[in-house]
Amino acid sequence: MIVWLIVICEVGFWVLLAAGLALRYWAKKPRASIAVLLCEPVLEAILFVVTVIDLKNGAEPDWKHGLAAVYIGYSIALGHYTVKWVDVRVAHRFAGGPPPSTPKYGVPRAIHEWKLAGRWILAAVIALALLQGAVWYVGPDGATESLRDWQQKMLFLIAINVAIGVCYTVFPKRAPAPAPDEERPLTRT
């Protein structure tokens, strides 16, 4: 049941996002759009409550409960960012908005990557906390190996994101050099 609820929440996230953006850009109803987009956190709350009830009713904690914690962590830490990311691209493509402005080179790109890494790290920390809460809830006599496995995966996710941030800081991507004709200003002789 938990797996189906996770699938329903994921599909619901994208359906609400599409509906919210359609209301904003095609129906020209920004208030209705905001109301629809604000329904997205309700999905995570439902998933969290059902997961806790499932564990309370004696379900053995397994990968599904871990996945629910990871999904909730992602939604809290990156859900708003994802909505904004899609919103900018839809506005540009269909509503004449400005093009997306993700920095491509140097220090601005490194800062962007560290901010994104921070969001992923926050998602992992939230998932770690939820997983640890589930481990404590189940107690020392329960089978918590699958929850501990998810915790290790979240630590690995943190390490990967730190490594990405370090790589963009130590080895920044450089802007391409201008062509030889573009370097010299044209002058009259």
* Residue 164, domain member (yes or no): yes
Look up the domain containing 39 and give its range.
Answer: 2-174
The reply to whether 128 falls in a domain is yes
Residue 143 lies in a domain: yes
Please give the structure tokens belonging to residue 130.
Answer: 């939820």
Listed residue (161, 145, 152, 160) closest to 128, CA to CA: 152
Q: What is the pLDDT of residues 47-103, one digit of tens each?
A: 888 887 887 787 878 888 888 889 889 989 998 899 899 999 999 998 889 999 899
Domain annotation covers residue 158 = yes
Per-residue model confidence (pLDDT) at position 134: 85
Residue 180 lies in a domain: no
User: What is the percent of the chain with per-residue pLDDT over 70, rounded to a whole number?
Assistant: 95
Per-residue tokens: 121: 């790290």
The model's pLDDT over 20-44, given as tens digits with 9 standing for 90+, comes to: 999 998 999 989 998 998 888 888 8
Give the pair of three-digit tokens for residue 58.
């004696």
Length, in residues, of the chain: 189
Q: How far is CA 186 from the centre of its chain?
A: 48
Residue 181 lies in a domain: no
Task: For residue 141, give both structure tokens.
Answer: 């006599």
Q: Which position has the token pair 């080179």?
A: 105
The answer to the question of residue 156 being in a domain is yes
Its pTM stands at 0.81
Amino acid 161: pLDDT: 97
Would you state the pLDDT for residue 189? 56
In a domain, 184, yes or no: no
Structural domains counted in the chain: 1
CA distances from 173 to 6, 56, 119, 165, 168 (A): 37, 50, 21, 12, 7
